[in-house]
Amino acid sequence: MTGCTPTGDAGAADGPTRSVRSPAPGTAAGGSGSGGTGTAKPAVPASPTPAVSGGKTKPCTSGDVKVAEARQAAVRPPGTGTGAAVVAVANVSKSTCTLQGFPTVAGAGNGSPGKNVPLATTHSGSVATVSLAPGARAWTKLTFVNVQGEADGYCVSGATPASFPTLVVGIPGAGAHQTALDDGVFALCDNKATVTAYSATKPS
């Protein structure tokens, strides 16, 4: 069965990030003499601390990134539905930006956001800050409760399988973006998915 998968709106970024700020060393004030013949030295102001080591890199916004592709994952649960999909997000701006966190997912509601079907998401793995140069990609993997059997298939839970031509994938701080599977539709059971945090490494 060609499956369609509803995407749900889950998970913002959680967990520690790996970005590190390096404070510029301050210069200590010179000592002032007390008594004797020494003269007091004027205090030397400490140099300012940079906001981000190596310069400022802003978080990605909705205008900086878009979903570049969504394809069925090579490693996925057995069944006849979609099983799992790998989604790539690309920086389409002219400057480097950062993103971090887990996607939200919903099945697109025929052009009406109010009819979207959110998927309940379970987070897998840890969060790290991903720095995206212009044209670079970050990746997330969506693993669904797969549809079983032939034809329209069935759900082990007894629920009715769902299929969606497109999903709405959320990027923390950078909006929600609609995407289609490169081949077929998203098919899944139980309106839920396990999602990995966005990463610079493409999952299998």
- The CA-CA-CA angle for residues 160, 186, 164, to 5°, reads 70
- How far apart are the C-alpha atoms of 170 and 11, rounded to whole Å? 9
Q: Is the pLDDT of residue 182 over 60?
A: yes
Specify the residue for token string 């301050």: 26
pLDDT number for residue 111: 66
d(CA 162, CA 153) in angstroms, rounded, equals 10
pLDDT(10) > 60: no
Greatest Cα-to-Cα distance within the chain, rounded to the nearest angstrom:
98
d(C-alpha 156, C-alpha 159), whole Å: 8
Rounded to whole angstroms, the Cα distance separating 37 from 39 reads 7
* pLDDT tens column, 113-144: 788 999 999 999 999 999 999 999 999 999 99
**Which of 114, 120, 108 is closest to 167 using CA atoms?**
108
**Single-letter amino acid, residue 95:** S
Q: Map out the domains of the chain as residue ranges.
A: 58-196
Three-state DSSP state, 140: strand
Rg, C-alpha atoms of the chain: 24
User: pLDDT value at position 152?
Assistant: 83
| CATH code for the part of the protein at 58-196 | 2.60.40
Is the pTM higher than 0.75? The answer reads no
CA distance 174 to 62: 4
pLDDT digits (tens, 9 = 90+) for 76-105: 999 999 999 999 999 999 999 999 999 999
